[in-house]
């Protein structure tokens, strides 16, 4: 390690007293989150890896973890300290931070794992928690009862119940110290759920998922995924989740995508001891290597051959550094992916690197009974592996809530392109969330006029389409006002009125992806979601020259002509006045459909709001602003993602359209139906003046909200009397709005200056 200059890092600053134990989320991607856990030994940013330190054998000195790697937290074992007289006395006299020589967050385990390995431990339930408190740990762990995957359901139930039975005494013994409340339940879905629900009711600070070490050791990653999916939806969302004993970087992206915040690793040292190197795609043996799997800083000046020649202690230490560096690098990749909104894609990519991980990933993303499962689309496109994953899932039909929990936390639309990753793309949760909203809310034209029995299906080319169709669309609008136009995208049909909406409009992939010939049976099935299955489908290939005349010829041969063309299929000219009228209707439909899909307006409400409105259009013909009949700016379509931004005037108008009562608290059942408008978030008197001035809403000031809010949703901020104070973008689900105590809840986009009824 000689090439390194050792620099000392400053000791951490304690958190504010009032924040101790609080967890805030500063960035998220679906269920994955970047959090900050407030402790007296620093604010720990998550996802974080806690290296396991055995107080008797230190492969890497804790001080080095802090100074060189900036590791903010570690985990050690209070039972080992308690059992060894010398360690115990030193810890009681000087505190655990001095004993370990580490200034950051120290979590301790309780001896449960020792009881799993060696049989019973002789320490008492309250005794071990009090001991951890008295040696000054930051996060203690209660003595839970380990549930093994080979246990019967009855035995596991006993572990769950006994752990719950010990919970209150442990919480009482912990005093001011933060306490881990481990979740047990083996591989039984209902017992994991029961454990999560019952343990979640006590005043714990963190919830580790216990009993998973033997599952991971046997590479039963599908069971690992099931344990997560059975547990996490039922835990209080404002508490961090720790995957007990999970230190293999291969599992991080999937775990983070499912909501894990903390990991601990003994693997970096254990694997080093028998010459194994961790990588994000599995494990490799030093003896087989000529090159490093990843060139980490600690091996920059050496080769595997040179390391093989070191004596065993030096080799073990260097490999431990190597493993730790690889592990930390994968945590960093996960964190960046959460910030970038790409964590699911990272998990998807990693799933291809190990068969057991692939099996787990396919199991998660293949959930045919979920409300968001897009049966007709996946049916003919799936490869055998997905079909097999579905057939083998023994509990098919029982997991839809968990999958919906994942999908409901997704933000859409998102800016940036959506890279095609094969069939997996279709099951990305944020794509399913966007499709779900489109399919539930978008409505075709209902008028019985020319073209209303037909559907013009554009296919064969990626967007943007508007340049190629700018001449044609006003013509169709004028001559065939009942005709619907949809575009076939690789992730489903997109109404032309929403032609710039992400992700549909921005799938980045090879050309052939867009050139897929329409499968009319499949299309008809998708159309049935909109009640359009009986329409006459008129497919037209967008690629190639002369799109306008080809469309007109196709319409003519389908009998939907009515004045678009003459007998000989030549175009009937449109006067400027008629063209402008038609364009106006197209603009209105564009904004109206965005209000329907993204603001949850009913078609009549959106139509009423846009009655007599006008539009500001940029020089390439895209709507920039929608103005009401009184000339008030009410909304702006966003160019980057096809979304819609609300203005203060728009918020006022939508507030008045609400028919439901103001939410009186957090009622899971009070979900706005499709078409019932934007969700309301009710804030208390203290927050009111700030919101009126356009300041963000913080957790702790929220009295209630509608159920069913997703991160990224536009919402109206009201006081307890239902008066409008402002509008903004939620960073949370409704459940999270209820639970969190710290951090920004709603990013306010506009304050009303004074309350408006
Ligand atoms: N370490 C690894 N698994 C467990 C567990 O289930 N409980 C506790 N307390 N520690 C663990």
For 469-519, what is each residue's pLDDT tens digit? 988 999 999 989 999 999 999 999 999 999 999 999 999 999 999 999 999
Mean pLDDT score, 182-190: 96
- 497: three-class secondary structure by DSSP: helix
Instruction: Give the whole-angstrom CA distance, residue 266 versus residue 653.
Output: 58
Distance from the alpha carbon of residue 754 to the mean position of ligand 1, in angstroms: 53
Confidence tier at 735 by pLDDT (50, 70, 90): very high
Which of 224, 244, 266 to probe ligand 1 with, by most ligand atoms within 8 A of CB? 244
Q: What is the mean pLDDT of the chain?
A: 93
Name, in order, each residue with C-beta under 8 angstroms of 48's C-beta and a sequence gap of 6 or more. Answer: 72, 73, 261, 262, 263, 331
- What atom in ligand 1 is closest to the CA of residue 146? 6
pLDDT above 70 (res 569): no
Residue 383's pLDDT band, with cuts at 50, 70 and 90, is very low
- Residue 317: its pLDDT value, please? 96
Determine the atom of ligand 1 nearest the C-alpha atom of 144.
Answer: 9
Q: Which of 117, 166, 195, 245 to mutate to test the pocket of ligand 1 (most atoms within 8 A of CB)?
A: 245
The stretch 320-332 carries a mean pLDDT of: 98
Cα of 113 vs centre of ligand 1, distance in Å, is 5
Just list the catalytic residues.
Answer: 109
Split at pLDDT 50, 70, 90, the class of 395 is very low
- Contacts (Cβ under 8 Å, ≥6 apart) of 143: 110, 111, 112, 121, 123, 124, 125, 128, 129, 166, 170
Q: Which atom of ligand 1 is nearest to the CA of 110?
A: 9
> For residue 680, what pLDDT is reported?
98
101 contacts 45 by C-beta, under 8 angstroms: no
Residue 375 has pLDDT above 80, yes or no: no
> What is the rounded CA–CA span in Å between residue 364 and residue 403?
8
The better pLDDT of the pair 566, 593 is held by 593
Q: 446: exposed, middle or buried (C-beta count within 10 Å: 0-12, 13-18, 19+)?
A: exposed
CA of 231 to the centre of ligand 1 (A): 16
If you average pLDDT over residues 371-388, what whole number do you get?
A: 47
Q: What is the CB-side half-sphere exposure of residue 506 using CA atoms within 13 A?
A: 18
- Look at residue 56 in the predicted model and tell me its pLDDT: 86
User: Looking at residue 130, what is its pLDDT?
Assistant: 98
Give the residue, by CA position, lying nearest to ligand 1 atom 9: 112
CA distance linking residue 202 with residue 177, whole number of Å: 14
Partners of 536 in the β-ladder: 454
Ligand 1 atom at minimal distance to the Cα of residue 184 = 6
Question: What are 347's two structure tokens?
Answer: 């998990």
Can you give the pLDDT at residue 568?
Answer: 58
- Nearest atom within ligand 1 for CA of residue 211: 6
The predicted structure's pLDDT at residue 394:
44
Could you tell me the distance, in angstroms and rounded to a whole number, from the CA of residue 294 to the centre of ligand 1? 31
pLDDT at 385: 53
Q: Is the pLDDT of residue 392 over 60?
A: no
DSSP per residue, 572-591: PP--HHHHHHHHHHHHHHHH
The domains found in the chain, sorted by start residue, are 28-344 (3.20.20.105), 435-637 (no CATH), 659-756 (2.30.130.10)
More confident residue, 608 or 368: 608
Query: With bands split at pLDDT 50, 70 and 90, how would you rate the model's confidence at 382?
Result: very low
* Residues in CB range of 314: below 8 A, 6 or more apart: none
- What ligand 1 atom has the least distance to the C-alpha of 147? 6
- Which pLDDT band, with edges at 50, 70 and 90, does 386 fall under? low
Q: List the structure tokens of 631.
A: 């000339």
pLDDT at position 646 over 70: yes
Q: pLDDT tens-digit profile of 519-550?
A: 999 999 999 999 999 999 999 999 989 998 89
Angle at 634 between CA 418 and CA 441, to 5 degrees: 50
Average pLDDT over residues 414-430: 94
pLDDT the model gives residue 476? 92
Mean pLDDT score, 223-232: 97
Residue 164 Cα to ligand 1 midpoint, Å, equals 15
Residue 376 banded pLDDT, cuts 50, 70, 90? very low
Q: In 3D, which of 442, 416, 477, 250 has the Cα closest to residue 346?
A: 250
More confident position, 3 or 706: 706
- The CA distance from 614 to 146, in Å, is 66
| Å from CA of 350 to ligand 1 middle | 26
Rg of the chain in Å (alpha carbons): 29
For residues 570-597, average pLDDT = 91
Residues with CB under 6 A from ligand 1: 109-110, 112-113, 141, 144, 146, 182, 210-211, 213, 244-245
Residue 377 has a CB neighbour count (10 Å cut-off) of 18
Using DSSP's 3-state secondary structure scheme, residue 27 falls into: strand
Question: Strand, coil or helix: what is 190?
Answer: helix
Look at residues 263, 298, 253, 258 and name the one whose alpha carbon lies nearest to residue 277.
Answer: 298
Output the CA 214–ligand 1 centroid distance in Å.
11
The pLDDT score that the predictor gives to residue 381 is: 41
Partners of 345 in beta bridges: none
pLDDT category of residue 565 using cuts at 50, 70 and 90: low
Compute the distance from residue 120 Cα to the ligand 1 centre, in Å: 14
pLDDT at 373: 47
**Between the CA of residue 528 and those of 376, 490, 493, 632, what are the distances in Å?**
11, 18, 12, 38
- Mean pLDDT for the stretch of residues 19-31: 98
């Amino acid at each position: 390690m000689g090439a390194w200059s050792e620099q000392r890092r400053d000791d951490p600053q304690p958190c504010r007293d009032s924040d101790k134990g609080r967890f805030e989320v500063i960035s998220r991607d679906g269920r994955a989150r970047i959090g900050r856990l407030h402790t007296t030994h620093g604010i720990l940013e998550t996802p974080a890896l806690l290296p396991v330190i055995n107080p008797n054998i230190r492969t890497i000195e804790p001080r080095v973890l802090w100074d060189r790697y900036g590791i903010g937290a570690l985990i050690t074992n209070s039972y080992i300290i308690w059992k060894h007289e010398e360690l115990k006395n030193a810890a009681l006299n000087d505190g655990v931070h001095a004993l370990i020589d580490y200034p950051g967050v120290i979590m301790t385990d309780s001896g449960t794992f020792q009881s799993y390995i060696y049989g019973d431990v002789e320490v008492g339930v309250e005794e071990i928690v009090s001991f951890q408190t008295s040696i000054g740990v930051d996060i203690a762990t209660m003595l839970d009862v380990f549930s093994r995957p080979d246990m019967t359901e009855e035995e596991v139930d006993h572990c769950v119940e006994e752990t719950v039975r010990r919970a209150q005494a442990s919480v009482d013994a912990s005093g001011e110290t933060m306490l881990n409340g481990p979740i047990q339940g083996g591989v039984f879905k209902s017992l994991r759920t029961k454990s999560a629900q019952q343990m979640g009711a006590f005043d714990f600070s963190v919830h580790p998922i216990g009993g998973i070490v033997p599952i991971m050791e046997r590479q039963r990653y599908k069971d690992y995924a099931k344990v997560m999916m059975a547990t996490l939806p039922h835990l209080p969302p404002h508490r961090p989740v720790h995957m007990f004993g999970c230190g293999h970087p291969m599992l991080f992206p999937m775990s983070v995508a499912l909501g894990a915040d903390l990991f601990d690793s003994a693997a970096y040292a254990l694997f080093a001891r028998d010459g194994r190197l961790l990588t994000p795609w599995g494990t490799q043996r030093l003896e087989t290597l000529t090159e490093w799997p990843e060139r980490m800083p600690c091996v920059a000046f050496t080769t595997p051959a040179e390391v093989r020649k070191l004596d065993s202690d030096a080799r073990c230490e260097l490999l431990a550094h190597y493993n730790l560096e690889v592990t930390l690098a994968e945590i960093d990749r996960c964190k960046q992916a959460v910030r970038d909104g790409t964590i699911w894609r990272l998990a998807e990519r990693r799933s291809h690197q190990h068969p057991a991980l692939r099996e787990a990933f396919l199991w998660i993303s293949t959930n045919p009974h979920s409300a968001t499962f897009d049966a007709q689309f996946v049916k003919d496109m799936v490869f055998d592996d997905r079909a097999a994953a579905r057939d083998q899932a023994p509990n098919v039909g029982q997991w839809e809530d968990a999958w919906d929990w994942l999908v409901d936390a997704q933000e859409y639309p998102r800016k940036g392109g959506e890279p095609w990753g094969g069939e997996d793309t279709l099951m990305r949760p944020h794509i399913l969330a966007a499709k779900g909203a489109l399919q539930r809310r978008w409505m075709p034209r209902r008028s019985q006029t020319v073209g209303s029995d037909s559907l013009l299906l554009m296919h064969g080319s990626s967007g943007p389409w508007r340049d190629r169709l700018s001449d044609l669309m006003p013509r169709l609008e004028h001559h065939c006002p009942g005709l619907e136009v949809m575009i076939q995208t690789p992730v489903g049909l997109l109404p032309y009125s929403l032609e710039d909406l992400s992700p549909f409009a921005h799938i980045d992939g090879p050309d052939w992806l867009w050139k897929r010939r329409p499968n009319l049976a499949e299309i008809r099935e998708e159309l049935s979601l909109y009640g359009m299955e009986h329409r006459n489908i008129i497919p037209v290939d967008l690629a190639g020259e002369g799109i306008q005349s080809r469309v007109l010829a196709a319409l003519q041969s389908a009998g939907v002509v009515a004045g678009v063309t003459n007998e000989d299929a030549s175009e009937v000219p449109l006067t400027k006045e008629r063209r402008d009228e038609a364009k106006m209707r197209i603009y209105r439909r564009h904004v109206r459909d965005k209000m329907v899909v993204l603001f949850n307006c009913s078609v009549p409400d959106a139509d009423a709001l846009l009655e007599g409105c006008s539009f500001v259009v940029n020089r390439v013909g895209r709507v920039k602003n929608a103005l009401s009949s009184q000339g008030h700016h009410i909304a702006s379509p966003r160019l980057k993602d096809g979304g819609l931004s609300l203005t203060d005037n728009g918020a006022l108008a939508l507030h008045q359209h609400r028919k439901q009562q103001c939410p009186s608290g957090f009622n899971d059942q009070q979900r706005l139906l499709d078409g019932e408008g934007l969700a309301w978030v009710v804030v208390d008197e203290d927050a009111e003046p700030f919101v009126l001035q356009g300041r963000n809403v913080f957790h702790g000031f929220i009295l209630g909200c509608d159920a069913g809010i997703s991160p990224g949703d536009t919402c109206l901020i009201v006081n307890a009397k239902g008066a409008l104070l402002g509008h903004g973008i939620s960073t949370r689900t409704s459940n999270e709005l209820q639970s969190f105590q710290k951090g920004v809840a709603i990013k306010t986009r506009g304050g009303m200056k004074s309350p408006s009824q």
